[in-house]
């Protein structure tokens, strides 16, 4: 019986300490969908190509319908592809309420090797 009482005391202390530790961690308020609302800051552009800093409509006008159009959180990815290369363009709003702009571009060959971004842009325009 003494052993059971000691286990109960240890379990109670563990629950008590767990509750204290959990209250010190700030948690985002739940969104209407039940998931925590998170704000992800937009990445700063570090690339320099003809797509960076332009809205998605610019790429849609150049390349037509994308193979993929994926929105997740505050970001959007458009993917365009052809026989020469695959181009992924990532869009984020520079500040809350602003239109998303291209902040990063990846280009690769169909077999997965890195491709030259300006060359891929030119190949997909044709």
* Euclidean distance between CA atoms 106 and 113, whole angstroms: 11
pLDDT-above-70 percentage for the chain = 61
For 6, the 3-state DSSP assignment is: helix
pTM of the model: 0.63
SS3 track for 45-69:
CCCCCCCCCCCHHHHHHHHCCCCEE
pLDDT-above-90 percentage for the chain = 55
pLDDT of the residue at 7: 56
Closest among 106, 111, 110, 100 to 121, alpha carbons compared: 106
Q: What is the pLDDT of residues 51-75, one digit of tens each?
A: 999 999 999 999 999 999 999 989 9
* Euclidean distance between CA atoms 66 and 17, whole angstroms: 52
Q: What is the mean pLDDT of residues 81-106?
A: 95
């Amino acid at each position: 019986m003494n052993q059971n009482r000691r286990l109960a005391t240890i379990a109670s202390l563990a629950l008590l300490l767990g509750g204290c530790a959990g209250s010190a961690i700030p948690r985002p308020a739940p969104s209407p969908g039940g998931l925590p609302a998170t704000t992800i800051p937009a990445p700063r552009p570090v690339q320099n190509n003809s797509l960076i800093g332009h809205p998605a409509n610019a790429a849609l006008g150049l390349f037509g319908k994308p193979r993929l159009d994926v929105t997740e959180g505050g970001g959007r990815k458009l993917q365009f592809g052809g026989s020469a290369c695959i181009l992924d363009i990532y869009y984020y709003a520079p500040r809350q309420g602003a239109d998303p702009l291209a902040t990063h571009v990846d280009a690769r060959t169909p077999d997965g090797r890195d491709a030259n971004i300006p060359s891929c842009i030119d190949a997909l325009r044709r």
